Amino acid sequence: MGKHNIRWVVLITIWTFIMAIIFTIITEGLVKNLNMLLAFIILILIISIGIFFDIVGIAVTTAEEKPFHAMASNRIGEAKYAIRLVRNASQVSNFCNDVIGDISGIVSGAIGATIIYKLTNIYSIANAGILSIIVTALIAAFTVGGKALGKTIAISNSETIIFKTARLFNFINKKFKLDILPHGRSNKNSRYK
């Protein structure tokens, strides 16, 4: 494991810790103060975010760099970001699948627990065990089912997904002068370096 990889592991561990705290505080605070319908909407939104980032993480690991070189030669600005995404597939995938995906899973579980608590209080449910099992199973089923569908979409449409992600990064860079991706090269697709 090289110096860059150790640095990445330490950095992503710290960022994950900070992001998990922030997202949990925000979502828990929102869910506790909202009615049940809005709490369920936030739960679905959090699960959807996890699925979306899982799609991007899978797409970046399956995409090839070659089509984006052709686009870059035609001066398509997003192609340069797409190349950087593919070249940094390990870090991008780690961030999308592990950081955002895992945080989404943990936060959705915490929201589920809050929803269970609210339901037991609203409807005076004495034994919350069955309700807890059902809500937890539904969260798990929607998360796993959504990610399974997302993986199929990501593998089949990896170049399109990466190009659209690159378009978003290009917009962020132009609008906010924030360059998210490193310019260094990773080991992925070394034949194109």
More confident residue, 51 or 125: 51
> What is the spatial distance between Cα 101 and Cα 103, in angstroms, rounded to a whole number?
6
Q: Is the pTM of this model over 0.95?
A: no
Which 3 state secondary structure label does DSSP give 192?
helix
What are the pLDDT digits (tens) for 61-116? Answer: 999 999 999 999 999 989 999 999 999 999 999 999 999 999 999 999 999 999 99
Residue 116's nearest CA partner among 104, 127, 105, 106 is 127
What are the pLDDT digits (tens) for 13-61? Answer: 999 999 999 999 998 888 888 999 999 999 999 999 999 999 999 999 9
CB atoms within 10 A of CB 2: 8
Name residue 90's amino acid.
S
**What is the per-residue pLDDT for 183?**
72
What are the pLDDT digits (tens) for 144-165? Answer: 999 999 999 999 999 999 999 9
> What is the spatial distance between Cα 91 and Cα 98, in angstroms, rounded to a whole number?
10
Q: What's the whole-number average pLDDT of the chain?
A: 91
> What is the spatial distance between Cα 193 and Cα 189, in angstroms, rounded to a whole number?
7
> What is the spatial distance between Cα 160 and Cα 63, in angstroms, rounded to a whole number?
9
Residue 88's nearest CA partner among 181, 192, 3 is 181
**What is the per-residue pLDDT for 185?**
55
